C-alpha cells in the first residue's frame, strides 16, 4: 500500500513538473511571438536611421519626404485596395460594424484620459488641448499594418495560416481608417486651433492662412469659409440672388469647405471607399478581385506594390528620427505625462471597451484576429497624421518632439501589451 501511494505521489509530482514546463514554454513562446514583430520593426527603423545619418546620408530629408509621399499616395492605397477588396462582403461589413465604432470610442476614452492628465499636469497654456489630442488620438493605420504583417509572416503565429492572417488583419485595419480620417480633420483640426488672442509662438509667429485678406490677423482660421469670403466683398453681398442651381452649388461649396472634404478624401481613404464599394458587390468582386477575374492583373499589381509599403514606411520613420526630438516648449513633465498616458493608461481603457463589447455579443464569434486588431487600435503610439495636423495649425515643433519620444518608448510598451493580449485571446 505504501509503495502504491508513493508511486502515485511520484506520478503526480512528475505531472506537476511537466505542467510547469509546458506553462513555461507557453509563456516563452508568447513572449517570442510578441517581441519578434517589434524586433523586426526596430531593425528596419534602425536601418532607415543609419541611411539618414550624416555618416551614410543616402536618405536625406528631401529623400524621406519623397519616400513618405510615395507611401502615402501609392503604396498604402494599393495595399488597402487589394487586401480590403478581396476580404470584404456585404455580410462582413455588417459583422465588422464595431471596428469604426471602436475607433470612435477609443478617441473618446483617450481624450477623456488626456483631459484628466492635462488637468493634473497643467501644461503651458497654449498646449492644454494639444496635450489632450496627443494622448487621445493613436495611430490606427500604419503601425498596426506593420505589426500585423510582421506577426503573420512567422509561420508559428497563433492565428494560423499566414496568408489568411495577413489578409484578414489588413482588411480589419483598413476598414476603420476612414473613420480615423474624419476624426483627424474635424475633431483634431478644431482642437488644435490657436488659443484666442494668441498663437503657439512658433518661430515665424504666423499661422498658415489660405487666401488671407489684406487685414488678416492671426486669430483667423486657416481656411476661409464661403460665408467669410462673401462678407469680405460687400459688392458681391448685395448682388441679386442666383438661380436655384447656383444656390445649390453655393451650398455644396460651403459644405466642401466647412467639412474639409479635400483633407478627408486622402488617397488611403479613397482606396478604402473604392475597395468597400467594389468588393461588396458580387459582380465587381468577380470582375476584379478573384484569382480568375479578367481584371485581376490590376489587383495583383496592387498586391505587388502594397508589399513594398512596409519596408518603405519603416525606413522613412527611422530616418525621421535622425533629427532627434528638437526643441519644444512643452517641458519634461508634460512630455513624460503624454507618453505615460498614451502608452500605459489608454490601453487598459481600450481593453475594457473590447471585453465589454465581447460580453455583449457585438463581436464576431471565434474571430481572434478581429479582437486582436481592436485591442491594437488602443495600444498604438500617437498618430503621425495628428502631428501633421498640428504642424498645419502652428505647433509642429512640439508635435515632432512628442512623436519622437512616444515611438521610442512604444517599442517597449507594445511588446508588453501584445504579450497580455495573446494570453487573453489564447
Question: In CATH, what number is assigned to the domain containing residue 385?
Answer: 1.20.1530.20
Confidence of residue 349 (pLDDT cuts 50, 70, 90): very high
Among 87, 89, 95, smallest CA distance to 363 is for 95
pLDDT at position 216, please?
A: 41
Q: Determine, yes or no, domain membership for 379.
A: yes
Question: Is 216 exposed, middle or buried, given 0-12, 13-18 or 19+ CB atoms closer than 10 A?
Answer: middle
CA 215 to chain centre: 39
Q: Determine, yes or no, domain membership for 228.
A: no
The three three-digit cell numbers of residue 53, written as one number? 545619418
Contacts of 27 by beta carbon, 8 Å cutoff, 6+ apart: none
Q: Averaged over 67-85, what is the pLDDT?
A: 86
133, 386 Cβ separation under 8 angstroms? yes
Confidence of residue 254 (pLDDT cuts 50, 70, 90): low
DSSP 8-state symbol, 260: T
179, 103 Cβ separation under 8 angstroms? yes
Cα(404)–Cα(337) distance, integer angstroms: 14
Cα(109)–Cα(138) distance, integer angstroms: 11
pLDDT at position 29, please?
A: 67
Q: Determine, yes or no, domain membership for 234.
A: no
Mean pLDDT across the chain: 77
Among 139, 148, 204, 194, smallest CA distance to 171 is for 148
Q: Determine, yes or no, domain membership for 246.
A: no
Q: Determine, yes or no, domain membership for 26.
A: no
- Looking at 7-16, 339-348, 353-362, which range is the least confident one? 7-16
Percent of the chain with pLDDT over 90: 24
Q: State yes or no: pLDDT of 228 exceeds 60.
A: no
pLDDT tens for 9-19 read 444 444 444 44
- Rounded to 5°, the CA angle 235-240-241 comes to 115
pLDDT at position 102, please?
A: 94
pLDDT tens for 125-137 read 788 999 999 999 9
Q: Of all helices (H) and strands (E), which one includes residue 164?
A: helix 162-175
Cα(396)–Cα(202) distance, integer angstroms: 9
267, 274 Cβ separation under 8 angstroms? no
Q: Averaged over 87-106, what is the pLDDT?
A: 90
Cα(399)–Cα(308) distance, integer angstroms: 27
pLDDT tens for 296-309 read 999 999 999 988 88
The three three-digit cell numbers of residue 89, written as one number? 462582403
Q: Determine, yes or no, domain membership for 380.
A: yes
The total of structural domains in the chain comes to 1
Q: State yes or no: pLDDT of 233 exceeds 50.
A: no
Q: Residue 133 belongs to what domain range? A: 34-213+262-425
Cα(135)–Cα(59) distance, integer angstroms: 30
pLDDT at position 174, please?
A: 83
Amino acid at each position: 500500500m505504501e509503495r502504491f501511494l508513493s508511486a502515485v505521489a511520484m506520478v503526480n509530482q512528475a505531472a506537476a513538473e511537466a505542467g510547469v514546463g509546458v506553462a513555461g514554454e507557453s509563456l516563452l513562446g508568447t513572449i517570442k511571438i510578441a517581441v519578434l514583430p517589434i524586433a523586426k520593426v526596430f531593425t528596419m527603423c534602425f536601418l532607415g536611421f543609419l541611411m539618414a545619418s550624416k555618416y551614410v546620408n543616402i536618405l536625406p530629408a528631401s529623400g524621406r519626404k519623397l519616400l513618405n509621399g510615395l507611401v502615402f499616395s501609392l503604396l498604402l492605397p494599393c495595399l488597402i485596395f487589394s487586401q480590403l477588396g478581396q476580404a470584404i462582403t456585404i455580410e462582413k461589413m455588417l459583422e465588422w460594424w464595431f471596428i469604426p465604432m471602436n475607433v470612435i470610442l477609443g478617441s473618446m476614452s483617450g481624450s477623456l484620459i488626456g483631459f484628466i492628465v492635462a488637468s493634473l499636469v497643467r501644461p503651458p497654456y497654449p498646449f492644454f488641448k494639444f496635450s489632450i489630442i496627443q494622448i487621445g488620438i493613436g495611430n490606427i493605420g500604419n503601425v498596426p499594418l506593420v505589426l500585423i504583417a510582421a506577426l503573420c509572416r512567422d509561420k508559428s503565429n497563433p492565428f494560423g495560416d499566414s496568408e489568411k492572417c495577413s489578409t484578414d488583419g489588413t482588411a480589419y485595419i483598413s476598414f476603420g481608417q476612414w473613420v480615423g480620417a474624419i476624426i483627424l480633420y474635424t475633431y483634431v483640426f478644431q482642437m488644435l486651433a490657436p488659443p484666442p488672442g494668441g498663437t503657439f509662438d512658433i518661430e515665424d509667429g504666423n499661422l498658415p492662412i489660405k487666401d488671407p485678406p489684406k487685414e488678416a490677423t492671426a486669430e483667423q482660421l486657416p481656411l476661409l469659409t464661403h460665408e467669410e469670403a462673401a462678407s469680405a466683398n460687400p459688392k458681391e453681398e448685395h448682388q441679386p440672388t442666383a438661380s436655384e442651381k447656383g444656390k445649390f452649388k453655393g451650398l455644396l461649396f460651403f459644405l466642401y469647405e466647412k467639412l474639409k472634404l479635400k483633407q478627408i478624401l486622402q488617397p488611403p481613404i479613397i482606396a478604402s471607399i473604392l475597395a468597400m464599394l467594389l468588393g461588396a458587390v458580387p459582380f465587381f468582386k468577380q470582375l476584379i478581385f478573384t484569382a480568375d477575374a479578367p481584371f485581376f492583373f490590376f489587383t495583383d499589381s496592387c498586391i505587388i506594390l502594397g508589399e513594398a509599403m512596409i519596408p518603405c514606411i519603416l525606413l522613412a520613420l527611422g530616418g525621421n528620427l535622425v533629427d532627434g526630438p528638437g526643441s519644444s516648449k512643452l517641458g519634461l513633465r508634460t512630455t513624460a505625462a503624454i507618453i505615460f498616458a498614451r502608452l500605459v493608461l489608454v490601453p487598459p481603457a481600450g481593453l475594457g471597451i473590447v471585453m465589454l463589447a465581447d460580453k455583449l455579443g457585438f463581436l464576431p464569434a471565434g474571430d481572434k484576429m478581429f479582437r486582436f486588431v481592436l485591442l491594437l487600435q488602443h495600444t498604438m503610439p500617437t498618430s503621425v497624421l495628428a502631428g501633421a495636423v498640428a504642424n498645419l495649425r502652428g505647433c509642429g515643433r512640439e508635435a515632432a518632439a512628442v512623436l519622437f519620444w512616444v515611438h521610442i518608448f512604444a517599442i517597449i510598451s507594445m511588446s508588453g501589451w501584445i504579450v497580455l493580449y495573446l494570453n487573453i485571446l489564447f
